[in-house]
Amino acid sequence: MRVTIPNPLGPPITFDSDHVHTLISKLPHLPSSLHRRPHFKLFTLIFSLILLITIRPSPPFPESFAVEWRNERRLPQLGVDVKFPEGKNGRFVSFDVPRGTGFNHQLQRVLLQHHLAVLGNRSLAFEPYVEDDSFLPFNPLSWPWRNSKIPLSAFISTVISGFESFYNSPRAVPAWYYRANCSGRKQRVYTIRSESNPTGDLELVGDGQARIHQLQVLLAGSDVGCIRIKGEPFDDEFFDSKAPLDLYESFVRSPAMKHFSFAPTVLSILNDHMDDIAPEQPLYDLDAISHTTSNAGVKSTMWKHILALHIRRGPNWEAVCEEKGQRAAPFVSFNKLPLLPGNENVPPPPTMVEAARMGLYRAKCLPQTLDIIGRARRMRKNHPLLKSVYILTDAEDSWISEIRMWLQSDGWNHVWIGKNDFYPGWDEREVGVAVDMEVARRAGVFVGNGFSMTSSNIVLLRSRDGIHPDLTQFW
């Protein structure tokens, strides 16, 4: 029997129903046929997996960052015709970096390492950002899937921009280039003495600026082409101490900080939202950011209408706050800068009773809804140019949506949640933390979390930009 079906997109479709019966009658035989061919089924499964991994559709696979990996392989300083101190026989330094500890833990170390490399007239061998220390490209047991390693140039442009050339210093290279050219006798390894390496041959001094000078002399004074520093010259204990304050004045004015910028991968996301967040501001020049053409440094204006709030609420953050309170921990790293409002009573005096101390740390580390709303009101009262709120957070959507609702009812023009409004896409989320940081860097007022390394890096960048300390505060 012939059946005709109307087709709104073209002429009617006619087919013979006898053909359908013939097709259906054949279907039951298909599984039994395949059952007799197990090798074919196995081959099909393996081929499908290989095809899926090769194509890497996103989602469910994370973003490949193929462009960024390719750009790192094609850096001009990796060419065969570059002159000393660059090239295969150039001057390099390689540092250990933490793995699986969060982007900003690695970033603060990389900034200081890059500073040291320029001072020591050496090329920094920069590692990718390691999200998960796995040999697989991602952890298949952790959902949503995230890259185990991401090229550092997907986050920051400083390692590929070539700014070092304007200071007669060799340009940074990817770590794989160092390993390919610095094996055996060409390499001198120094091991930092620590509790885990008590026999190390490099004992670092405690003062921050003195440590920088100590390592500068080591790097600049050696004729060995490749130097590797095993261990962390800037570890958690260093950032908990006052050492960052010792080196702050020279570091914040250094070439590595002067030319620091987030990567085009990050800033292109903000370009897509510029009409919403700052419609009167020019777009980022992505090509200029990737290739430094002068020693002028990074120039940008503030977004004076934006109040940026850093609200930590990750799965383990409450336990972190509890631990900070129990040991009366100081603010981390550059959050301790004395001119910044909000850090004057941390750590509290030893005479403070435990209940009061824990209450202080909860208020500073884990602000509650009413505290957040009240702080936003006070900031707007003190700074009338503030019109919109941008929230940097890792909180669950249900909780942060309630915060948004309260702020909207308070009359703010816009209340943006970075992860939901600016980088919700599967291919954007892995660099989302840098998007948040760039908005906070340029915000009219920033309220940060003194125990967060993310806030510390934002504080450092705002200080570099010359923003008045009163406009950078803490809970």
CATH number at 417 reads 3.40.50.11350
CB of 148 closer than 8 Å to CB of 133: yes
pLDDT per residue as tens, the chain (475 positions): 565 554 444 455 555 656 545 545 554 554 555 455 666 667 776 766 665 566 565 567 778 899 999 999 999 999 989 999 999 999 999 999 887 688 999 999 999 999 999 999 999 999 999 887 776 666 666 667 777 799 999 999 999 999 999 999 999 999 999 999 998 889 999 999 999 899 999 999 999 999 999 999 999 999 999 999 999 999 999 999 999 999 999 999 999 999 999 999 999 999 999 999 999 999 999 999 999 988 888 888 999 999 999 999 988 999 999 999 999 999 999 999 999 998 889 999 999 999 999 999 999 999 999 999 999 999 999 999 999 999 999 999 999 999 999 999 999 999 999 999 999 987 899 999 999 999 999 999 999 999 999 999 999 999 999 999 999 999 9
For residues 93 and 227, membership in a common domain is answered with yes
Q: Say what the pLDDT of residue 9 is.
A: 43
For residues 180 and 209, membership in a common domain is answered with yes
For residues 198 and 296, membership in a common domain is answered with no
Round to whole Å and give the CA distance between 432 and 440: 13
For residues 95 and 188, membership in a common domain is answered with yes
CB of 429 closer than 8 Å to CB of 419: yes
CB of 123 closer than 8 Å to CB of 117: yes
Round to whole Å and give the CA distance between 256 and 278: 27
Does residue 308 lie within any of the structural domains? yes
Task: Read off the amino acid at residue 374.
Answer: G
Q: What's the predicted TM-score (pTM) here?
A: 0.86
Please tell me the total count of domains within the chain.
3
- Convert the pLDDT of each residue in 89-120 to its tens digit: 999 999 998 876 889 999 999 999 999 999 99
- CATH number of the domain enclosing 100: 3.40.50
Does residue 21 lie within any of the structural domains? yes
Q: Say what the pLDDT of residue 54 is.
A: 62
Q: Say what the pLDDT of residue 8 is.
A: 42
DSSP 248-286: HHHHHTSHHHHT--B-HHHHHHHHHTHHHH-TTSPPP-H
For residues 311 and 451, membership in a common domain is answered with yes
Which residue, among 423, 393, 156, has the nearest Cα to 269 in the 3D structure? Answer: 423
Q: Which of 213, 229, 258 is the last residue of a domain?
A: 258
For residues 289 and 431, membership in a common domain is answered with yes
Q: Which of 258, 286, 320 is the last residue of a domain?
A: 258
Does residue 364 lie within any of the structural domains? yes
- Convert the pLDDT of each residue in 24-68 to its tens digit: 555 455 455 545 566 666 777 676 666 556 656 556 777 889 999
For residues 130 and 243, membership in a common domain is answered with yes
For residues 185 and 46, membership in a common domain is answered with no
Q: At CA 272, angle to CA 270 and CA 275, rounded to 5?
A: 90
What domain range is 179 assigned to?
Answer: 66-258
For residues 357 and 423, membership in a common domain is answered with yes
Residue 6, preceding peptide bond in cis (omega within 30° of 0): no
Round to whole Å and give the CA distance between 86 and 83: 6
For residues 126 and 36, membership in a common domain is answered with no
User: Sheet containing 123-126: which strands, arranged edge to edge?
Assistant: 173-174, 123-126, 92-95, 226-230, 187-191
Q: Say what the pLDDT of residue 48 is.
A: 60
Q: Which of 232, 258, 284 is the last residue of a domain?
A: 258
CB of 320 closer than 8 Å to CB of 459: no
For residues 210 and 314, membership in a common domain is answered with no
Does residue 264 lie within any of the structural domains? no
Does residue 266 lie within any of the structural domains? no
**Tokens matching residue 314:** 């990750």
Does residue 377 lie within any of the structural domains? yes
Does residue 28 lie within any of the structural domains? yes
Does residue 61 lie within any of the structural domains? no
For residues 328 and 236, membership in a common domain is answered with no
